[in-house]
Structure 1
Amino acid sequence: MRRSRLLYVPFWATYVFLYAPIVVLVVMSFNSGESAYTYEGFSLKWYADLAADERIMDGLINTLIVATGSTVIATVLGTLLAVGLARHTRSKTLDAVALVPAVLPDLVLAIGLLLFYGMIQLTLGLYSVILAHGVFAMAFVAAVVRTRLSGADASLEEASRDLGAGPVTTFRKVTLPQLAPGIVAGALLAFTLSLDEFVIAFFTIGNSEQTLPIVIYSMIRFGVTPKINALAAVLLLVSFTAVIVGQRMTKIGESRAQD
């Protein structure tokens, strides 16, 4: 039975709705004029302005530091959390509690972390944002790795223990290779979430330093300019590159696991 072509209309309409604004943004980033809404010709001057803007470059460096640090924390703790919940604890309550940071509104989590930092008298800075983003992203990593773990062969771990391998050796040589694609996907998700997260960073970073989303927020209060479009296009390129690299590494990990 042939499918009606009308069924593809909502499919393509959804894609146009999602990606048309992104295409317009990228096109307008090459605008030679001062207006962010009227295209006057091709130019790369706004990208040159980005490289010369110390505030944006400092914000970008801070964002990369935060994203990298929080990704490491979230990946390590999220992986261990997923393994613990799947292999050593059978509790739906603990499963639900582990996902709470992912479902809580960002504003609630940000206020809670700010109050906690104040209670323990922790001075705010980049490290406080790294810890906050690590907590926030850890739940996502745990969910992704848990999904991968559900498809892993538990009999291989049992065979490893029967042959005399200890828990650490079994985890390092048997469990971890099976989870590698899920860990890479979770780390990628954690990195991209931290890269453009605004609310939690805004509440927990203090006044001395700024991440790139905070810099962008302070800029757009006075109107959108082609420089902001160029900055958004660069962030899109970084995100797409991370996705492609992550997918490539995931496929390599899956092929090695099958071999």
Structure 2
Amino acid sequence: MNKRRTSFFFFCITMLFFYLPLLVLVVYSFNDGKSMVWKGFSLRWYRELFTYSENIWQAFRYSIGVAVVSGLLSTVIGTLGAIALKWYSFKSKKYLQLLTVLPLVVPDIIIGVSLLIMFASIHWKLGLLTIFIAHTTFNIPYVLFIVMARLEEFDYSVVEAAYDLGATERQAFQKVILPMLFPAIISGFLMAVTLSFDDFVITFFVAGPGSSTLPLRIYSMIRLGVSPVINALSVILIALSIVLTISTKKLQKNVIS
């Protein structure tokens, strides 16, 4: 009984540690004042966000666009790479597997500097395209390892049974392999989108003038002082994340069933 109480106590402390800052942020997004002193309930900062913050929404659109496109491309490359590394034999396979781990362990600042040097050496103008290339590069390993983890539990006899029934490689891939890997593919895509949308360090090095993503825009605003508009924007992003998570869970359950 004491163990249960102790476990429950530490669970509550952990949840409090995670969610109390978010709760404070939500509460003060409705504060009428600019400071931490509560001056009454108000939607002032939400009105200002939707009315006078076009630069924030432009950065938001850039972030969403880069995150979705780079997420899709890294999901395709990562999924095909995971299948190739798991089911096919070729020379230097072990070395390639080792190389896929490097972006996960190398600090972001090193990746950002190396990409900046590469773009500068080929005289490539920094902008949305360089951000897209950078985000796709560091997202591929995450998708690859998520799909590979699913492939570890994959029953390949199902694919062989499809071949025995006359299915071609394309039909087996579309009708058997993809549906069974779909939950992992969706998880990898969401991971890639989240990492891309949230990235600051690498984006800071490869972004050019007029191509600020939302993290860069928020950073530039915070340098001049914390604005309550950022609180309102954060609440909206939290709400969107919750809706996206619930929708994804339902989609995965429907696919599995």
TM-score, normalised by the number of residues in structure 1: 0.92
Distance 1:99 1:168 in 2: 29
State whether residues 198 and 214 of structure 1, in contact with CA within 8 Å, keep that contact through their aligned partners in structure 2: yes
Q: Residue type of the partner of 1:61?
A: R
Distance 1:71 1:57 in 2: 20
Aligned to 2:170: 168
Match runs of 1:1-259 below 5 Å: 3-35=3-35, 37-52=36-51, 53-89=53-89, 91-255=93-257
Distance 1:50 1:2 in 2: 49
Moved more, 243-252 or 70-79: 243-252
Q: Residue type of the partner of 2:240?
A: V
Q: Could you list the per-position Cα deviations for residues 62-106 of structure 1 after superposition, in whole angstroms to 9, with x for gaps in the alignment?
A: 111111111111111111111111111484443232122222211
Q: Could you list the per-position Cα deviations for residues 122-154 of structure 1 after superposition, in whole angstroms to 9, with x for gaps in the alignment?
A: 222112111111111111111111111222210
Q: Could you list the per-position Cα deviations for residues 190-230 of structure 1 after superposition, in whole angstroms to 9, with x for gaps in the alignment?
A: 11111111111111111122111100000001221211111
1:99 is paired with a residue of what secondary structure?
helix
Distance 2:2 2:136 in 1: 49
Q: Residue type of the partner of 2:45?
A: W
Q: Residue type of the partner of 1:157?
A: V
TM-score, normalised by the number of residues in structure 2: 0.92
Moved more, 99-108 or 211-220: 99-108
Q: Could you list the per-position Cα deviations for residues 36-62 of structure 1 after superposition, in whole angstroms to 9, with x for gaps in the alignment?
A: x22221111111111121111111111
Q: Which runs of 5+ in 2 are unaligned?
A: none
Q: Residue type of the partner of 1:179?
A: L
Q: Which runs of 5+ in 1 are unaligned?
A: none
Pairwise CA RMSD of aligned residues?
A: 1.7
Q: Residue type of the partner of 2:250?
A: R
Moved more, 84-93 or 113-122: 84-93
- Residue identity (%): 41
2:125 is paired with a residue of what secondary structure?
coil
Distance 1:245 1:89 in 2: 37
- Structure 2 vs 1, CA of residues 157 and 63 (structure 1 numbering), >3 Å: closer, same or farther? same
